[in-house]
Amino acid sequence: MQLPVELQLDALFDFEQQLQALLDGEQYELFQQQQDLFSDQIKALLDTNSSEDLAVVVEQLKILEAKIAALQIKSDTCYQQLKEKSLLQKRNKSKIKAYK
């Protein structure tokens, strides 16, 4: 038996908050794994509910869409920072080797 669309949406909002917390806690690997599961749950919500059911919660879907966009921006920023930090560490390592 399928949960009502409102309960499914509530679960997705909770999940989005958990993903935010993972990024805030710098748990990037777990974030990536959970992000895939989150994506699957969103797809399931859209695939298993009728257009009529989804029309009733269109405003909540728009809010969720905005939260996901903000989460993506935050994720991209964290990724870029990690990339830069890694590059800096590689450069420092090369400098240390050069001094030896």
* Per-residue model confidence as pLDDT tens digits over 36-60: 999 999 999 999 999 999 999 999 9
In this prediction, residue 64 has a pLDDT band, given cuts at 50, 70 and 90, of very high
Q: What's the whole-number mean pLDDT along residues 79-100? A: 83
In angstroms, the CA 50 to CA 55 distance is: 9
pLDDT at res. 1: 64
Contact call for residues 22 and 76 (beta carbons, < 8 A):
no
pLDDT, tens only, 1-34: 678 899 999 999 999 999 999 999 999 899 999 9
Give me the mean pLDDT over the 64-73 stretch: 96
CA distances, 17 to each of 20, 24, 63, 69 (Å): 5, 10, 13, 13
Cα 54–46–24 angle (5° rounding)?
105
